[in-house]
Amino acid sequence: MGYIALYWGVMLIGYFAGSKLRNYQEKMGFINGVMLICISLLVLLMGVRMGSNEEVIHNLGTIGVESFIITILLMVGAILSVTLTRKLLRMDKYGYLKGKECPPDMQGACGGNDAAGDTVPDAAKEDASSSNLMTWLIIIFVIVGLLAGYFIVRQRISDLVAFDSVTSLMMTIGLCILLHVIGIDMGLSGTVVKQLKKVGPRILAFPVAVLLGTTVVGVLIGLLFGDLTVREALAVSYGFGWYTFAPVSITNAGHVVAGAVSFMHNVFRELAGIVLIPALARSIGYIEITSLPGVAAMDICLPIVERATRQEIIVYSFAIGMAEAFLIPILVPLVLGA
């Protein structure tokens, strides 16, 4: 709750500041560069933390493979649920209501049938090289971070608990700076608030869709994987990428194997979301990709969503991530009977 209030606060302050600077928008072109630098550094730091973490290293075997498969299944389930919901709401893959007015440079993506929705708009084509660059930067910085954490931090730093605490604080500060910059960028354009008003209650359908898709896949996982009961599989599924809460809660309830699977799955979920968002946005849908990273959709992945799609889509991203953050502390203990 405290982090949600903090993130909302710094973003709103940034939005207010940006709205006062709209007359100087042409001089604020450096904002995108600042966001890209912040994303790269945060991803690097996350990689270092994972590479230096004993639990990550020790669970890279059989449990790691199982966790990876579970991550893929849950992501596919979330995507399919969001796609079905989007179609029921008559929205195209770029998040526009079919038959409604949309910007001229997006005409190829708006309205009409699914065939029209599959056409890549001019704006998306122009941003393709930027998204590809971001994808490669993210992959490179994650790999460098993992290697640095494993070969340097683990060898030269004796107090890894203190290191984890310091880097956690650094990531929180970095996220606040990043979200503040995002707020400024939103304030400069002024389109997000208009979009939120236009979307209205419809936005709530997507967190519900992700929850339903996750529940169905979680039950299937419990039936398919012999070392996990249905309850344990649901608890793992409801972790939504929050590897600092769900694994500890599951392990404390006496489910050691499920706790290890949960930890690895949540690490994979956040990491895969960071890498896949810019790579898949134009192919699977703008709203769909907000369901990939779990709770990270409302913090570290928010600027990645913005750069890979458009500003208005971060409304859906934040809504999905925030709903998951609220639900995790309720659902994980509930399904385990803890």
Count of beta carbons in the 10 Å neighbourhood of residue 244: 9
Instruction: Classify burial at 5, counting beta carbons within 10 Å of its beta carbon; exposed 0-12, middle 13-18, buried 19 or more.
Output: exposed
Q: What is the pLDDT of residue 222?
A: 94
CB 236 within 8 A of CB 262: yes
Check: CB of residue 174 under 8 Å from CB of residue 181: no
The pLDDT, as a whole number, for residue 134 is: 67
pLDDT at 257: 81
Question: Burial of 162 by CB count in 10 Å (0-12 exposed, 13-18 middle, 19+ buried)?
Answer: exposed
pTM above 0.85, yes or no: no
What pLDDT, on a 0 to 100 scale, did the predictor assign at position 116?
A: 42
| pLDDT by residue, tens only, the chain of 338 residues | 566 677 778 888 988 898 888 877 777 778 878 878 887 888 788 778 878 877 667 766 778 899 999 999 999 999 999 999 999 999 999 988 876 646 545 545 454 444 444 444 444 444 555 556 766 777 788 789 889 998 999 989 988 889 888 987 887 888 788 778 878 887 887 666 666 666 677 888 999 999 999 999 999 999 998 888 999 999 999 999 877 678 878 877 888 788 888 888 988 898 888 889 988 998 999 999 999 999 888 877 888 898 889 888 988 998 898 889 888 888 988 898 85
How many structural domains is the chain composed of?
A: 1
Residue 35 has a pLDDT of 79
What does the pLDDT read at residue 194? 66
Q: Which residues have CB under 8 Å from 302's CB, separation 6+?
A: 178, 179, 182, 314, 317, 318, 321
Q: Residue 22: what residue type?
A: R
**H helices within 149-204, ranges in order?**
154-156, 160-189, 191-199
Task: With both helix axes pointing from N to C terminus, report the angle between 256-284 and 230-237 in degrees, rounded to the nearest 10.
Answer: 50
User: For residue 69, what are the domain limits?
Assistant: 2-336
